[in-house]
Amino acid sequence: MTKPNIKFPPASPALALTLAAHPAAVDAVPASQFTGAMSTLAASVTVVTARSGDAQYGRTVTAMLSLSAEPPAVIVSITRDTELARTIDEAGRFSLSVLAQGQEAVADAFAGWGPEDRFSVDDWQHWPSGQPLLAGAVTSLDCVLAGAIVMDTHTLYAGIVTHTRSFPDRAPLIWQRRGYRALDQS
């Protein structure tokens, strides 16, 4: 049996929303108060990467979540005017690596606190799509860009997951109160 030759439309154009223009923005708490409140949340540490041609970029984030199971999709928030955002837009793909405990050096590198060549930290490989794949991650996802929403300083990218690799025996690296944390495995 052969696969049908189905052509999918390119990712939808970005939808632009401006929260700063919303009437409630004048009553919003100061940014420092908001970021202090958000720092109490515990989140998995994820590295978002994208490759187009020979150029590849990545960034450490905690703003990644499951969007749907059918089709399998995720959403990730990326600072809008960055090389990573431009590469995701150009490639139409991105990948995610949920870091394991002990991968703090990877998180630091992709947060901009490490070597200039971020991909020199740890063992990076590639998915069949050509997107970067971190060998020791708890979970890795290869995604096709399905749509984007531009919101003030960030873009929310939705991706359809086309490949996964998971190691459930590895504990995830957690970020809370502006520091790395470990899950209590007891």
More confident residue, 186 or 181: 181
Is the residue at 132 inside a domain?
yes
Is the residue at 161 inside a domain?
yes
Supply the pLDDT for residue 11: 58
Is the residue at 125 inside a domain?
yes
Q: Does residue 1 have a pLDDT over 50?
A: no
Q: Cα angle at 63 between 61 and 72, to 5 degrees?
A: 110
Q: Does residue 169 have a pLDDT over 80?
A: yes
Number of structural domains found in the chain: 1
Q: Does residue 104 have a pLDDT over 70?
A: yes
Is the residue at 3 inside a domain?
no
More confident residue, 45 or 10: 45
Distances (CA, A) of 144 to 67, 117, 131: 14, 25, 10
Supply the pLDDT for residue 74: 98
Supply the pLDDT for residue 60: 98
Give the structural domain span for 78: 15-19+42-174
Q: Which residue spans within 62-112 are E strands per DSSP?
A: 64-69, 72-79, 93-98
Query: Can you give the pTM of this predicted structure?
Result: 0.88
Q: Does residue 172 have a pLDDT over 50?
A: yes
Q: Is 27 left (phi over 0), alpha (psi -120 to 50) or beta?
A: alpha
- Phi and psi at 54, nearest 5°, equal -90, -10
Whether the Cβ atoms of residue 47 and residue 60 lie closer than 8 Å to each other: yes
Is the residue at 9 inside a domain?
no
Indicate the burial class of 129 (C-beta count within 10 angstroms; 0-12, 13-18, 19 or more): middle
| Calpha distance 134→97 (Å, rounded) | 6
User: What CATH number did the domain enclosing 141 receive?
Assistant: 2.30.110.10
Mean pLDDT of 118-125: 96
In the structure, what pLDDT confidence band is assigned to residue 5 with cuts at 50, 70 and 90? Answer: very low
Is the residue at 137 inside a domain?
yes
Q: Does residue 177 have a pLDDT over 50?
A: yes
Q: How many CA atoms lie within 13 A of 56 on its CB side?
A: 21
Supply the pLDDT for residue 13: 59
Look-up of token digits 């959403």: 75
Region of poorest pLDDT, from 4-13, 49-58, 82-91, 126-135: 4-13
Is the residue at 180 inside a domain?
no
Is the residue at 25 inside a domain?
no
More confident residue, 183 or 56: 56
